[in-house]
Amino acid sequence: MQDYDLTQYCNDIAEEIARDASDIEQAIDWAHESADGSEYVIYYAKAHTICQNCNIEQGEDFFSECYGNEHGKSYDEIACIMAYGEINARICARLWEIFEEREEEAA
């Protein structure tokens, strides 16, 4: 997994969500569910590929925001949490773009 591949993976999920969601709020809820169920979040080895090969600033921010300095998490658990934060942020970013484009087209 490289940064480009991760972005494409997240964009594909976002586009699928956007096709079926009635509004941005529903889409964002589904983004959280999709990120949480992602194979890159569930499986330690896949989470590590994201943490080792991709820009994970958003994932690190998510981890710090949710767990701070006192977390008691293992390396594997931390990798999964950061992968979730990164995937969720990328899916949501693409969803916002899609829904903004729709609003512009409707105007």
**pLDDT tens digits for 12-55?**
999 999 999 989 999 999 999 999 999 989 999 998 898 888 88
Q: At what angle do helices 75-106 and 24-36 cross, to 10 degrees?
A: 160
- Regarding pTM above 0.85, the answer is no
How far apart CA 6 and CA 33 sit, in angstroms, is 17
Measured CA to CA, the distance from residue 36 to residue 62 in angstroms comes to 13
DSSP letter for 77, please.
H
pLDDT band at residue 105 using 50, 70 and 90 as cut-offs: confident
Tokens of 95: 């969803």
Contact 32, 47 (CB under 8 A): no
